[in-house]
Amino acid sequence: MNLNCNRSLFPILSSHTHLASCSQGAIAIPVSKAIEDYHQSLLNDGTNWGAALKKADAARGLFAQLIGAEKDEVAILCSVSDVFSSIMSTLTDHPKRKGLVFTDIDFPTVGHILYAQKTFKDHLSIVRSFNNEIPLEQYEKKVSNDTLLTCIPHVNYCNGYKQDVKKIADIVHGKGSLLFVDAYQSAGHIPINVKEMRIDMLATGTRKYLLGIPGVAFSYIRKELAKELNPRVTGWMGQEESAAFDLLNPIPAVGTRRFETGTPAFISIYAAYEALRVLLEVGINNIESHLKNLTQFGLQYGLEKGLSLAGPLTIENRTSLMSFHVENAPLVEAKLRERKIIVSARKNVIRIAPHFYNTQDDIQLALDELSQIV
């Protein structure tokens, strides 16, 4: 499958310039069809439980392929917040370590969940960013021999800053801490290999660069680790034999599937499965190199237009998520939408987040209009 040849797969592109993959990716025809298939199966067959479970298993398999994991190391929940809450529920009675480290560029849900863990309230440390970047020495300083878990975002959701996960993993593991990676702003457009990057746990949802809809988040937990963890946020779908309906003898599933809870959002799983197929067919390396070219262009063109870039100036330590400072970002987002350009506002920036279906013309148009508005 070629990159831009497939613009016709995305109906929205015939009327809009869609540059909001950091928020909601464009929906491809096969994804839309999968949603409709699920809907139709309920209308026509009345129930589709067995087929839906099979689809969930197949989606686990495709996601595992995307991140270089095994299928048994993947669980399906509903949101990244659910995944992270579930992970935290396993750590409260660790016999030796109490420290939790996170960063000031994490998505807020990470802080919200960590602050909710009363057992850890006196053991939280924050790694601070400087000029939108986190030097590795900061991890050396903050992660200690008491740290149980270090949480990092792969990519900053506000400005596209990308961290070197493998180097952070070396530091974190050197101190005996586990590493959790929030990959919601990276999965689907830059390569991830959890084994090479030595990630212990990872979470991502499907509605951004994974080109699905809300309702599904994938969780990776290294298999040797998963079997030692017992989630308290749990349920019947996390049991080894959920179909046994054994009320009194819970036996958690052997692998990471023990992190699953109840009936998942099957309709979103149908969408996720087709979206993953599209992404794997196009190829993440192809997507990354196409987006590098667009970013190179966008950074330069934004500068020429006098726009004020947030985040790293060069492509080495950033993704294609380009953010520009504006006053009243939600209003600017709305004005661009009136001009049929879909971008995403956060705090004081407008985020322009292309995917493989975008072209240099899309970026140019968005930056022309943005500079006119500001």
Ligand X SMILES: Cc1ncc(COP(=O)(O)O)c(C=O)c1O
Compute the radius of gyration of the chain from its Cα atoms.
21
Helices marked H in the chain: 29-45, 49-67, 80-88, 108-115, 136-142, 165-174, 223-226, 266-282, 284-304, 329-338, 360-373
Residue 332 and residue 188: Cα distance in Å, rounded?
Answer: 27
302 close to 343: Cβ distance less than 8 angstroms: no
Q: In angstroms, what is the minimal distance from the CB of 112 to ligand X?
A: 10
Q: Which of 150, 145, 132, 182 is nearest to 314 (CA)?
A: 132
48 vs 186 by CB, closer to ligand X: 186
217 vs 299 by CB, closer to ligand X: 217
Q: In angstroms, what is the minimal distance from the CB of 108 to ligand X?
A: 8
Q: What is the contact surface with ligand X in residues (CB under 6 A)? A: 79-81, 107, 109, 153, 157, 182, 184-185, 205, 217
83 vs 143 by CB, closer to ligand X: 83
Phi, psi (degrees; rounded to nearest 5) at 242: -65, -30
3 vs 83 by CB, closer to ligand X: 83
Read off the DSSP letter of residue 233. Answer: S
Q: In angstroms, what is the minimal distance from the CB of 92 to ligand X?
A: 20
Q: In angstroms, what is the minimal distance from the CB of 82 to ligand X?
A: 7
Residue 81 and residue 97: Cα distance in Å, rounded?
Answer: 23
109 vs 117 by CB, closer to ligand X: 109
9 vs 20 by CB, closer to ligand X: 20
Q: In angstroms, what is the minimal distance from the CB of 306 to ligand X?
A: 28
Residue 82 and residue 104: Cα distance in Å, rounded?
Answer: 21
Q: In angstroms, what is the minimal distance from the CB of 7 to ligand X?
A: 25
Tell me, what amino acid is at 354? P
How are strands ordered across the β-sheet holding 217-221? Answer: 74-77, 217-221, 201-205, 178-182, 147-153, 99-103, 124-127
Residue 316 and residue 312: Cα distance in Å, rounded?
Answer: 8
Read off the DSSP letter of residue 130. Answer: B
Q: In angstroms, what is the minimal distance from the CB of 23 to ligand X?
A: 7
27 close to 162: Cβ distance less than 8 angstroms: no
83 vs 253 by CB, closer to ligand X: 83
157 vs 301 by CB, closer to ligand X: 157
Alpha-carbon torsion angle 132, 135, 137, 143, nearest 10: 60
Q: In angstroms, what is the minimal distance from the CB of 126 to ligand X?
A: 17
